[in-house]
């Protein structure tokens, strides 16, 4: 007998399930009844966020995003979260899963301890709008401020491109991978307590152009980041590097920008 998404329980006690119940559908494929505890918030009716339980039948190859879809489509259509490509490219579904910043679309159920409830909540440090959705404008405001685009003082010859060697490209190749998911910035304890801090993502995207041999505005960006809310606010906790779903060495990039500021050039 197949078991679909079942009981929805608002958590008011500590009686959480201690294991995932194994089930089997009509095809004989093993599935698991997994408990999700989601931090919900509706600004129209709630004064404070609340935790709500959902039991969901899932397979080991399912992702947290699949579980959220199942809850929204089969149980509670009011559950609100962002997602777009669902393949780790758009970066829109960053959230805290069991206390760690992850992309819901890249987090497999089999990689989590499903013998215990899975906790899901919005990323920290940004204004909470509803459920798992935060206001990203402060994040993008910092991103825009570092001028994350190519600024060249001259044009290439007609019909030709701006040539760059493989060696020059390798200097900043790592930071080109950023998908602006905010997982790094919202994992930073400095950002949690100081919303004026540029944050790791903005510095990573500044790095991408500061060290680009085709760009002529590196000094401008270094001046922007040589600020009390710039690179010097970084405390090198490595939370950002651990949180990055693209594997960017975020802390290393910030350190390289600090060194460039001290040298006065990239």
| Tens digits of residue pLDDT in 5-57 | 444 444 444 444 444 555 555 666 789 999 999 999 999 999 999 999 999 99
Q: Give, in words, the CATH class of 136-263.
A: mainly alpha
Q: Supply the pLDDT for residue 54.
A: 98
Number of other CB atoms surrounding residue 248 within 10 Å: 23
Q: Supply the pLDDT for residue 6.
A: 41
C-alpha dihedral over 106, 112, 114, 120, to 10 degrees?
Answer: -60
Please, which residues bridge with residue 96 across strands?
101, 121
pLDDT in tens, 137-150: 999 999 999 999 99
Q: Supply the pLDDT for residue 30.
A: 85
Least confident of 12-26, 105-119, 155-169, 211-225: 12-26
Q: Supply the pLDDT for residue 26.
A: 62
Q: Supply the pLDDT for residue 265.
A: 77
Q: Supply the pLDDT for residue 177.
A: 98
Question: Average pLDDT for residues 175-187, to the nearest whole number?
Answer: 98
Q: Supply the pLDDT for residue 195.
A: 80
What residues does each domain of the chain span? 8-133, 136-263
Does residue 4 have a pLDDT over 50? Answer: no
Does residue 194 have a pLDDT over 90? Answer: no
Q: Supply the pLDDT for residue 141.
A: 97
Query: 156 or 262: which carries more pLDDT confidence?
Result: 262
Q: Measured between alpha carbons, how far apart are the two ends of the chain, in Å?
A: 64
Q: Average pLDDT over the chain, rounded to whole?
A: 91
Does residue 218 have a pLDDT over 60? Answer: yes
- Domain 8-133 fold: Ubiquitin-like (UB roll) (3.10.20)
Residues near 36 by Cβ (< 8 Å), separated by ≥ 6?
A: 53, 54, 55, 56, 67, 71, 117, 118, 119, 120
Nearest to 145 by CA among 80, 225, 91: 225
Question: Average pLDDT for residues 243-262, to the nearest whole number?
Answer: 98
> pLDDT band at 264, cuts 50/70/90?
confident
pLDDT in tens, 82-100: 999 999 999 999 999 999 9
Run of H or E including 56: strand 50-58
Question: Average pLDDT for residues 154-176, to the nearest whole number?
Answer: 94
pLDDT in tens, 199-215: 999 999 999 999 999 99
Does residue 58 have a pLDDT over 60? Answer: yes
């Amino acid at each position: 007998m197949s078991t679909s998404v079942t009981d929805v329980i608002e958590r008011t006690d500590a009686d959480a399930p201690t294991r995932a119940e194994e089930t089997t559908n009509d095809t004989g494929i093993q599935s698991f009844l997994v408990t999700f505890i989601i931090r919900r918030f509706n600004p129209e009716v709630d004064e404070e966020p609340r935790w709500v339980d959902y039991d969901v039948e899932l397979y080991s190859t399912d992702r947290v995003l699949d579980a959220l879809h199942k809850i929204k489509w089969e149980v509670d259509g009011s559950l609100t979260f962002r997602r777009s490509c669902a393949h780790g490219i758009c970066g829109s579904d960053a959230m805290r899963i069991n206390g760690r910043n992850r992309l819901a679309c890249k987090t497999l159920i089999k990689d989590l301890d499903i013998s215990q409830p899975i906790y899901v909540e919005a990323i920290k440090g940004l204004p909470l709008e509803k459920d798992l959705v935060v206001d990203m404008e402060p994040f993008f405001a910092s991103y825009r401020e570092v001028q994350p685009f190519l600024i060249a003082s001259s044009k290439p010859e007609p019909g030709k491109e701006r040539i760059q060697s493989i060696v020059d490209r390798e200097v900043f190749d790592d930071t080109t991978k950023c998908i602006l998911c905010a997982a790094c910035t919202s994992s930073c304890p400095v950002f949690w307590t100081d919303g004026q801090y540029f944050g790791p993502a903005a510095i990573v995207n500044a790095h991408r152009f500061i060290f680009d041999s085709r760009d002529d505005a590196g000094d401008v960006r270094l001046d922007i980041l040589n600020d009390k809310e710039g690179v010097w606010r970084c405390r090198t906790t490595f939370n950002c590097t651990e949180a990055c779903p693209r594997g960017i060495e975020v802390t290393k990039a910030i350190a390289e920008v600090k060194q460039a500021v001290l040298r006065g050039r990239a």
